Amino acid sequence: MARRLTRQLTTGNGQLTLNICHLYPDLMDTYGDKGNIITLVKRCQWRGINVRVSNIGVGQSLDFSAKGGPASGWDLYFFGGGQDRQQQIVGQDLQKKAEDIKCAIENGTVLLSICGGYQLLQNHFKTLDGKMIKGIGLFNANTVGSTTRMIQGLLIELNPELKNQILSIYPDTRYQIPDTRLVGFENHSGKTYLESETQPLGSVLKGSGNNGKDGTEGAVYKNAFGCYLHGSLLPKNPHFADYLIAKALERRYGIVNLKPLNDFLEWQAHQSAIKQTNHQS
Ligand code: GLN
């Protein structure tokens, strides 16, 4: 009760609207990644920011203006995880949406993808039984199915450039982000290898990350992020949720100063998830 009151007192980003496109929510939500959408929606609402979520599936067009939205399209795409079989269906349909998505990312739109979604945004994913699923090459990386299931808590240190950007999202200097690391739960057998210049999202402190060997986790291209962090990721990593919201609003409205929220419970969840990874911090 007291917590909700604090939330209301921190509103003040009214008259802004965040337009979210949830890609393939029916086929790509085996691992509860929808919690990320709920977090984005709630964190906007707590600040008085309007949110609109559109579910786009197989055979549906990404033409946002045709659905009554602004011609400049969605502000944030979300693409969750799924299993190999669903990835084959989605992978084919995604080819028809590739140009729109890539063009949006070139123009600064934000995208968060997890696991199966992340794999389909790469050049290709070769499954363990040898099927080649073509990706859209947004991230210059490839995934190969393996016999090892990487299933455990995953803790990462953000890449330094991103870490600096995240530290600057709250202009109120009295508010300090307690921890910039990201924590989640990975569950994949695909091993991802980043090509030469591709930037990782971060480096692995605990868990396997992209492939369990090179210490990298995820990928970044402009404001598009891919990772293996299920969990869901955003409920217990409020700094990253706010970074995505701030970046997504920036394209439409210019720099938006987000008011800090009372994230006591979120940071407790973050700490508790880190504890479960057995990382000695
Ligand atoms: N099929 C993929 C893998 O196991 C993706 C799994 C997922 O999205 N969690 O590598």
pLDDT in tens, 102-136: 999 999 999 999 999 999 999 999 999 999 999 99
- Whether 194 contacts 143, CB under 8 Å: no
Ligand 1 touching residue 82 (CB < 6 A): yes
149 is in an annotated binding site: yes
CA 215 – CA 78 distance, rounded (Å):
25
Q: What is the extent of the structural domain holding 100?
A: 2-278
Specify the pLDDT at position 12.
52
Q: Establish whether the linkage from the previous residue to 232 is cis, with ω within 30° of 0.
A: yes
How far is the C-alpha of 16 from the C-alpha of 183, rounded, in Å? Answer: 29
Closest CA to 236 of 274, 264, 262, 266: 266
Percent of the chain at pLDDT exceeding 90: 83
Cα–Cα distance measured from residue 216 to residue 158, given in angstroms and rounded to the nearest whole number:
10
Q: Which CATH number covers residue 161?
A: 3.40.50.880
Beta bridge partners of 184: 154
Instruction: Tally the domains of the chain.
Output: 1
User: Is the minimum distance from the CB of 189 to ligand 1 under 6 angstroms?
Assistant: yes
Residues acting as catalytic residues: 115, 230
6 falls in which pLDDT band (50, 70, 90)? very low
pLDDT the model gives residue 245: 98
Distance 127 CA to ligand 1 centre (A): 10
Sign of CA dihedral 154, 160, 163, 165: negative
- Looking at residue 13, what is its pLDDT? 61
**Average pLDDT of the segment spanning 61-73:** 70
Rounded (5°) CA angle 92-78-195: 65
Which tokens sit at 172?
Answer: 């109120």
Average pLDDT, whole number, for the chain? 92
Amino acid making up residue 229? L
Q: What is the mean pLDDT of residues 27-31?
A: 91
At which residue do the structure tokens 């979210």 appear? 20
pLDDT digits (tens, 9 = 90+) for 37-65: 999 999 999 999 999 999 999 999 887 66
Say yes or no to pLDDT of 2 above 60.
no
Binding site membership of 84 for ligand 1 (Cβ less than 6 Å): yes
With 80 as the cut, is the pLDDT of residue 9 above it?
no
pTM for this structure?
0.94
pLDDT digits (tens, 9 = 90+) for 147-195: 999 999 999 999 999 999 999 888 777 888 999 999 999 999 999 999 9
How high is the pLDDT of residue 65?
67
Whether the predicted pLDDT of 242 surpasses 90: yes
Q: How far is Cα 153 from Cα 213, in angstroms, rounded to an integer?
A: 16
| pLDDT value for 236 | 97
Q: What is the pLDDT of residue 71?
A: 63
3-state secondary structure 65-129: HHHCCCCCCCCEEEECCCCHHHHHHHHHHHHHHHHHHHHHHHCCCEEEEECHHHHHCCCEEECCC
* CB of 79 shorter than 6 A to ligand 1: no
The whole-angstrom separation of Cα 239 and Cα 167 is 9
Q: How far is the CA of 186 from the centre of ligand 1 (A)?
A: 9
Taking the centre of ligand 1 as the mean of its atom positions, its distance from the CA of residue 110, in whole angstroms, is 22
